[in-house]
Amino acid sequence: MATQQSRSAARWMMAPAVVLLLGWMLVPLVMTLYFSFKQYLPLRGGDLGWVGFDNYIRFVTSSAFWPSIQATLLIVGGVLVITVGLGILLALLLDQPMWGQGIVRILVIAPFFVMPTVSALVWKNMFMDPVNGLLAHLWKFFGAQPIEWLSQVSMTSIIIIVSWQWLPFATLILLTAVQSLDTEQMEAAEMDGAPLLSRFWHLVLPHLSRAITVVILIQTIFLLSIFAEIFVTTQGSFGTRTLTYLIFQRVLESQNVGLGSAGGVYAIILANIVAIFLMRIVGKNLDA
């Protein structure tokens, strides 16, 4: 890459990829922005012209807007707490030498390979069904009234389903971090008189901080846009309508592309606010 010639050759060779990626990102973004300033109702008259910021104002003033933001943040927050917490515990457990370690690790990672739609359906029909679900049988076995999971505690149910899907990811990342912990450090702490809990608090947790940061950042990006799990379970009812789902309803159920596009722009802004916020809190862990 030293000579002038090889540098310009490299630029030419990279150009197709760069153009493709840029187009891939820019075209949808520009189209979303374009439609968000239009009154566009495909089944009720089509393109009805420019409307300025009307769509943006209508989207925010709708009674569904703030509850959808709240639902989104609740799901993201709940899943993060559960996956990071249980992920650390599982990673520590899986790090222990035991018989059949390889198989156990594959089993733990397995849920990640199940498609979101499938796993949500499995949970809905096999576990959370109030009549035939395994959980209903369990409740009945103890003589309790089965819970109607998806209608009575819909939010908790969705958080459980999504956490189940993302726990393997968190566990995997945290396990690699746990494995890289220096054993001599742990032994030094043991000789320094630190009991098990102190060793966890003063050594393991700080060591894991970078991995935890990575898990939180990556999961947040994906969790802000969860859709399939809600679509196949509650269809956005019982207070589980997230921002993504609200946009979907505006575009496809109300057939209002302009309003939905304005919602999409809000989603981009929300994602960026959350990202900046997270970077501020945990991003400094990535520097050290």
Cα–Cα distances in angstroms (integers) from residue 57 to residues 69, 102, 252, in the given order: 16, 55, 20
286 binds another protein, rule: CB under 8 A: no
Q: Closer to another protein by CB, 47 or 182: give it.
A: 182
- The residues near 30 (Cβ < 8 Å, ≥ 6 apart) are none
Taking the complex as a whole, how short is the minimal distance between the CB of residue 204 and another protein, in angstroms? 11
Read off φ and ψ for residue 117, nearest 5 degrees: -60, -45
Do residues 262 and 243 lie in contact, with contact meaning Cβ atoms separated by under 8 Å? no
Q: Closer to another protein by CB, 200 or 238: give it.
A: 200
Taking the complex as a whole, how short is the minimal distance between the CB of residue 217 and another protein, in angstroms? 20
Q: Closer to another protein by CB, 46 or 195: give it.
A: 195
Taking the complex as a whole, how short is the minimal distance between the CB of residue 208 and another protein, in angstroms? 11
**Nearest Cα to Cα of residue 156 among 135, 176, 137, 141:** 135
Question: Mask of contacts with another protein, 148-167, x by CB under 8 A?
Answer: --------------------
Q: Closer to another protein by CB, 152 or 180: give it.
A: 180
- The residues near 143 (Cβ < 8 Å, ≥ 6 apart) are none
Taking the complex as a whole, how short is the minimal distance between the CB of residue 186 and another protein, in angstroms? 8
Taking the complex as a whole, how short is the minimal distance between the CB of residue 180 and another protein, in angstroms? 12
Residue 260: Cβ-neighbour burial (10 angstroms; 0-12, 13-18, 19+): buried
Per CB under 8 A, which of residues 180..209 are in contact with another protein?
Answer: 182, 184-185, 187-195, 198, 202-203, 206-207, 209
Neighbouring C-beta atoms of residue 85, cutoff 10 Å: 13
Q: Closer to another protein by CB, 203 or 278: give it.
A: 203
Tokens of 250: 């505006």
Q: Closer to another protein by CB, 124 or 199: give it.
A: 199
Give the total of residues touching another protein (CB under 8 A): 19
Q: Which residue has the tokens 């019982």?
A: 238
Q: Closer to another protein by CB, 47 or 190: give it.
A: 190
Read off φ and ψ for residue 235, nearest 5 degrees: 55, 30
Per CB under 8 A, which of residues 209..228 are in contact with another protein?
Answer: 209
Cα–Cα distances in angstroms (integers) from residue 260 to residues 10, 250, 273, in the given order: 41, 5, 20
Cα–Cα distances in angstroms (integers) from residue 263 to residues 73, 89, 251, in the given order: 16, 38, 10
Binding site for another protein (CB under 8 A): 182, 184-185, 187-195, 198, 202-203, 206-207, 209, 288
